[in-house]
Amino acid sequence: MARIKPLQKLRKLSLNIDKRTFFILFYLYFWLVIDLRLIYHGGGMPLNFPVFYRGWAFFGGTVLYPGGLVEYVSAFLAQFFCIRLVGPLIVTIQAWLIWLCCSSILKASSERRLKWVCFVPPIVLLGSYTRYSYPFGVAMAFLVALGFVRLYMFLTSKKRPTDILVFLCLLMILYVIGGGGYLLFAGVCGIYELLFKRRLILGLVFLLASPVVVHIEGVVFFDFGVIHAFDNFMSRSYEDDKDVLVVVYLLYSLLPATLVGLWIGELLLKGKGSGRLGQFLLSCGGKAGGKLSPLLGIVAGVVVAYFCHSAGIKAQIAVNYYSCNRMWHEVLETSARYPHSKLMNHAVNRALYHTGRLTKDMFVYGQSSGALMLSGETESPSAWWRLFDTYIDLGHMNLAESMLVLSIDAYGERPLFLKRLALINMVKGDTGAARVYLGALSRTLFDSDWARSYLEKIESDPNLSTDEQVQHLRSIMPEIDRDFESLSDSIFLDLLDKNKGNRIAFEYLAAYYLLTNRLDKFAGIMGRLNDFNYIRIPRVYEEAILLYRFTGKKVELGGRAISWESQERFRNFCNVYLRQYGGNKREAFDKLASDYGDSYLFYALYRRSGLKK
Amino acid sequence: MKKRIITFGFVLFAVLLTGALVYGLCRRVVTVDDYSTIDRPAKIYPDYSSTVIPPNIAPLNFMVQEKGSYYCARIYSERGEPIEVFSRSPKILIPIDPWYELLDKNKGEELHFDIFVRTDSQGWIRFGTITNSIANEDIDGYLVYRRMHPIHTLTKGRVGIYQRDLSNFDELVVFDNRDYMTSCVNCHTFCQNRPDKVLLGVRSDIQGAKTLLINRKVVSKIGTKLGYTAWHPSGKLAVYSINNLPMFFHTARNEVRDTFDLNSALAYFVVDSQTIKTAPELSRESQLETWPVWSADGRHLYFCRTPMIWPVEGKFPPKGYDKVKYDLVRISYDLERDKWGELEKVLSAKDTGLSIAMPRLSPDGRWLTFCMCDYGYFPPWQQSSDLYVVDLKTAQETGRYEYNRLDVNSDQSEAWHSWSSNSRWIVFSSKREHGVFTRCYFSYVDETGRVYKPLVLPQKDPAFYGRCLETFNTPEFVIGPVMATGERLLRIFRGSDEVIVDMPITMATPKAGTMPSYGEPWVERE
């Protein structure tokens, strides 16, 4: 006996380590691979990330509906996703609590605990997050429902006639605070009573009466009708994110299915304990199964992460995150792997401009004519999310405002949008509107200081005459009013009319002409080079000028000359294409791509770029 | 274990109760003893000063915008007990019952606010008295409006019609687009401010564009959407516009959005026969007709009209859209015989130099209010939009419609005005304070037609408007709570029963058929 105890302790310790290992790996995966800051940021997905405001108004407005308290707490905790180390910790703790509750419920129901089942919910959540969905709120409602189930089991461990009252009280409270979680509670408690405690009438009453009780509660306390009383289980946000819907179905069906499966297993085991099926079931639910379950969980987690992972989705959000935070090196590094994505191309151009490389390295990266301003994507929320910062950079406050207002409509009152809308309205001189955006922002968790500082500034100096950013944007904002229906060069020309030193407007205009192959227009603006402090004509421009001249036309360069290197390069390009391959585009492709795939010359010929190795 | 939990609960409760008692007993009662005075009135927000207020309005909670550590407001009038409110924060929250009592006892009298602020350096300071007047006439009990974020093209966010009890701060949902997925509610019209005769336009990706009709206690669904709608005072029919309203954006104007009426006409829905009809003068191919409104006696229909100067299919936006100006016309109507008379011009854009839109008539038939703006048909998106009034009694005597610009206007857009049932109050939407965010303002109108300084719809939290990112538009006075709301309307909307109507016109070109299917996201106007 004395020897058994240390062995048991050791086995227990190893079990604990393994379980802990699972959740440590879980945390590390969220920290290092998923990076919940990206979900917080959004970048066009997910659509249902919650807004949170401090203050009683938001609290009252949220909790006064079924499920409101869980929604409020979830929204609060989700804001911490923006802190790299904290977000994963919160999600891991939630997953661990879910595991704990499942384990406890199964233990209370049956000797066979099926410990590996308890790892399924964390793995389902892991899969969902890997696809950059937001299932945190759903998981919170699930956790609360599990907690109530466990509480019910605890309070009714000794069979008493008052157990039904306990159930009803808990059901009513859960409906108020956890909304749709009551379904799980009623289902699990009903199955528990029916199948494990053998109180058939009670179990049936639980299952059948729950919708009635909830309906009455919804009508009496919340003034709901039939539809509304049950509506909160199926949030509208599930319409926008089918992944979350899958999570809901999996989570809510897992425990009831497991309990029913356990009961069936018990039935099969009675009298069949020596058979193969019985042995298999024994091992699944027994101690061997329990020992293996953390390992199984880790393996399953890895498999799910592998299959759910989409590098493309992550890159898309990450590039936008970097772009919004002006991390240009990271933008370029990540985007380089996706040369054919318009959204990536758009971010690349912005990063190249801000690092002073647009006029030199534009065609080192993938380009397309529609990528510069995402033309043809005006109804895509993902496009709006990328365009507002570009428009702000350019000086087009109205167009930026439009993209931001559309984004609020699609994604909610995110601090990211409010900050920019406040800035835009300050630039436009509409301090009334700016105050409202700042007022809302001042109630967020992490942007309130910025908002308050601007509210004070507006108070003391409504014109914001000392704010550099505001003054700069005012100096480049266009004065010519046009009706904007689709992209044309006028959106850049109007900016240059207002301020001929608007460098980004000039470089984007040049890029627009190059990408749409309008060399005549491009040549027409070369006279503006002297409005900027270019030491020499940028390489890409030289290539375009040489190409234009090759057609026999003249370009006014304001006293500047094309460099010898560009002339030599152009000559070589022409030699290869015209002499070596006789003007055969297809045959010349590989050679030209390898030597000139990063040039405008190649793009002009093939409408492709970024191919030079 | 259970005993421990119960014991812990009791202990916690006892501690909290003791703490509350101690706090309550130890809290010092604050009084204003000595104070210095400043002549000027305190700055308060919202600006509830020098206005005429309804005697049945909710408390005008406000914030004192003066620096201090303690605040006191003393509210008093000729009769009744003054109300004193002390607050550590600048927010002055007036208790409801004493407020009602004070207002009720002092109809027609002045209402004074004395504001005291305590500073660390100077102690209590008393500011100059703020004075308002209490009207004799009540305001209608409810205000129904639409709340939504400012919209640019698509509507995925929340849009709802709400009814606010004006005597307190209760706001209830009439209909909310969360109930039926990616859609919109708008165009709520009440017959003579009655809550039992309502038309409500609803659009949904799944159900299409429909109109809910609340007719006394019966709710039904009409199989088409009615545009800007006006009930005949008899409640027997409603005239509505059919419009084609694409949206576009300005690159440098302060108001980003703009729209124009590509094509429009008027038709009318007859309630009893559940049919839709039109008349030649209401739907000329060469004209754009919109913004119908009935005279108080139901004998004339007023509406706005302009020649159609562009092809339906053409450049977008069409050339000259910013030169389009609408006239205000009216046409006589015989309800008994369903006969339309001759069209007559009321006000010409050529004479006013501006475009006329949104005419509304007071229920007593005396006043005609409308918007005028630089061009176009949609004043809420024109910064130049102002409210004007015509005295119809004088017009009848002189034969001329002399109009006056109301003093309540600001340098921002004023629009969406409507009258209370007793013709003593108007409500309108204005962007005067918050740029893009429209708020509802009330103004008292006396017998001479003078319109007094407006006051914003009061909120329980006076700081509300400083952070509310939604607009309040299309406000309508209603004398009681709307007869059917929320789920009842939703059930009818989702149901299969509907009144099938044959359209005498589709879009604005007179030809029979059914409405085009709505497969595109909604383009919304606020």
Is residue A415 assigned to a domain? no
> How sure is the predictor about B518, in pLDDT bands with cuts at 50, 70 and 90?
very low
pLDDT tens figures, A191-244: 999 888 888 888 898 888 888 888 888 777 776 666 665 655 544 445 556 778
CA-to-CA distance for A272 and A268, rounded, in angstroms? 6
Closest CA to A110 of A348, A306, A289, A310: A289
Angle between helices A120-130 and A136-155 (to 10 degrees): 170
Edge-to-edge, what's the strand order for the sheet holding B171-176? B171-176, B159-165, B142-148, B471-478
pLDDT, mean over chain B:
89
pLDDT tens figures, B443-495: 999 999 999 999 999 999 999 999 999 999 999 999 999 988 888 888 898 88
Across the interface, of B151, B252, B432, the residue whose CB is closest to A478 is B252
pLDDT tens figures, B268-310: 999 999 999 999 999 998 999 999 999 999 999 999 999 998 8
Chain A interface mutation, best of B3, B61, B251, highest count of A Cβ atoms under 10 Å:
B251
Is residue A12 over pLDDT 70?
Answer: no
Is residue A229 assigned to a domain? yes
- Range ranked top by mean pLDDT from A74-83, A230-239, A288-297: A74-83
Closest CA to B472 of B441, B438, B431: B438
> How sure is the predictor about A113, in pLDDT bands with cuts at 50, 70 and 90?
low
**Number of independent structural domains in chain A:** 2
pLDDT tens figures, B322-347: 999 999 999 999 999 999 999 999 99
Distance between B319 CA and the closest CA of chain A, angstroms: 11
pLDDT at position A158: 80
Is residue A234 assigned to a domain? yes
Residues 6+ apart with CB under 8 A from A559: A530
**CB of A201 within 8 Å of any CB in chain B?**
no
For the ranges A8-12, A415-419, B78-82, which has the lowest average pLDDT? A8-12
Phi, psi of B473 (to 5 degrees): -135, 175
Residues 6+ apart with CB under 8 A from B479: B140, B141, B142, B193, B194, B195, B421
Is residue A78 over pLDDT 50?
Answer: yes
Task: Count the helix, strand and coil residues of chain A and give each as a percent rounded to the nearest 5.
Answer: 75, 0, 25
For the ranges A229-233, A241-245, A466-470, B66-70, which has the lowest average pLDDT? A229-233
Of B31 and A437, which is predicted with more confidence?
A437
> How sure is the predictor about A287, in pLDDT bands with cuts at 50, 70 and 90?
low
Q: Record the tokens describing residue A144, joined without a space.
A: 């609360």
Query: Which of A288, A306, A324 finishes a domain?
Result: A306
Query: Which of A291, A306, A321 finishes a domain?
Result: A306
- For the segment B384-388, the average pLDDT, to the nearest whole number, is 97
**CB of A156 within 8 Å of any CB in chain B?**
no
Distance between B75 CA and the closest CA of chain A, angstroms: 26
Residue the block writes with tokens 């309307």: B489
Closest CA to B471 of B410, B411, B412, B526: B526
Across the interface, of B249, B254, B490, the residue whose CB is closest to A227 is B490
CB-CB neighbors (< 8 A) of A436 in chain B: 434-435, 437, 465-469
For the ranges A157-171, A264-278, A448-462, A510-524, which has the lowest average pLDDT? A264-278
pLDDT at position B521: 38
- For the segment A233-257, the average pLDDT, to the nearest whole number, is 74
Of B248 and B56, which is predicted with more confidence?
B56
Angle between helices A381-394 and A311-324 (to 10 degrees): 30
Residue B98: other Cβ atoms inside 10 A = 17
> How sure is the predictor about A111, in pLDDT bands with cuts at 50, 70 and 90?
low
CA-to-CA distance for A271 and A250, rounded, in angstroms? 33
Residue A34 domain boundaries: 2-306
Across the interface, of A57, A226, A433, the residue whose CB is closest to B435 is A433
CA-to-CA distance for A233 and B302, rounded, in angstroms? 48
- For the segment B24-42, the average pLDDT, to the nearest whole number, is 78
Helices (H), A223-341: 226-231, 237-240, 242-269, 276-285, 287-308, 311-324, 328-335
Helices (H), A356-414: 358-361, 381-394, 397-411
Please report the residues numbered 78 through 97 in chain A whose beta carbons come closer than 8 angstroms to any beta carbon of chain B: none
Phi, psi of B307 (to 5 degrees): -65, 145
- For the segment A157-185, the average pLDDT, to the nearest whole number, is 88
Phi, psi of B355 (to 5 degrees): -95, 135
Nearest residue on chain B to A401, alpha-carbon basis: B256
Is residue A401 assigned to a domain? no
ipTM of the complex: 0.91
Please report the residues numbered 270 through 329 in chain A whose beta carbons come closer than 8 angstroms to any beta carbon of chain B: none
CB-CB neighbors (< 8 A) of A499 in chain B: none
Distance between A413 CA and the closest CA of chain B, angstroms: 8
CA-to-CA distance for B387 and B406, rounded, in angstroms? 6
Chain A interface mutation, best of B321, B467, B490, highest count of A Cβ atoms under 10 Å:
B467
Q: Record the tokens describing residue A31, joined without a space.
A: 């920290």
- Helix or strand or coil: residue A448? helix
Is residue A440 assigned to a domain? no
Nearest residue on chain A to B494, alpha-carbon basis: A227
- For the segment A58-74, the average pLDDT, to the nearest whole number, is 90
Distance between A430 CA and the closest CA of chain B, angstroms: 6
Is residue A545 assigned to a domain? yes
- For the segment A363-382, the average pLDDT, to the nearest whole number, is 88
pTM across the whole model: 0.92
Nearest residue on chain B to A154, alpha-carbon basis: B2
pLDDT, mean over chain A:
88
pLDDT at position B154: 62
Closest CA to B212 of B201, B204, B203, B227: B201
Nearest residue on chain B to A403, alpha-carbon basis: B152
Please report the residues numbered 433 through 492 in chain A whose beta carbons come closer than 8 angstroms to any beta carbon of chain B: 433-437, 439-440, 442-443, 477-485, 491
Which DSSP symbol is given to A487?
-
Q: Record the tokens describing residue A195, joined without a space.
A: 């199948």
Nearest residue on chain A to B460, alpha-carbon basis: A57
Is residue A199 assigned to a domain? yes
Tell me the residue length of chain A. 613
Do B434 and A406 count as a contact with CB atoms less than 8 A apart? no
Please report the residues numbered 388 through 407 in chain A whose beta carbons come closer than 8 angstroms to any beta carbon of chain B: 396, 398-399, 401-402, 405-406
Q: Does residue A22 contact residue A297 with C-beta atoms inside 8 Å?
A: yes
Of A79 and A209, which is predicted with more confidence?
A79
Which DSSP symbol is given to B313?
S
pLDDT at position A196: 87
Q: Does residue B146 contact residue B159 with C-beta atoms inside 8 Å?
A: yes
pLDDT at position A598: 94
CA-to-CA distance for A500 and B25, rounded, in angstroms? 70
Query: Which of A306, A324, A348 finishes a domain?
Result: A306
Is residue A170 assigned to a domain? yes
CA-to-CA distance for A609 and A596, rounded, in angstroms? 9
> How sure is the predictor about B519, in pLDDT bands with cuts at 50, 70 and 90?
very low
pLDDT tens figures, B402-422: 999 999 999 999 999 999 999
Do B253 and A398 count as a contact with CB atoms less than 8 A apart? yes
For the ranges A214-228, A267-281, A323-337, A381-395, which has the lowest average pLDDT? A267-281
Chain B interface mutation, best of A71, A158, A162, A409, highest count of B Cβ atoms under 10 Å:
A409
Distance between A170 CA and the closest CA of chain B, angstroms: 17
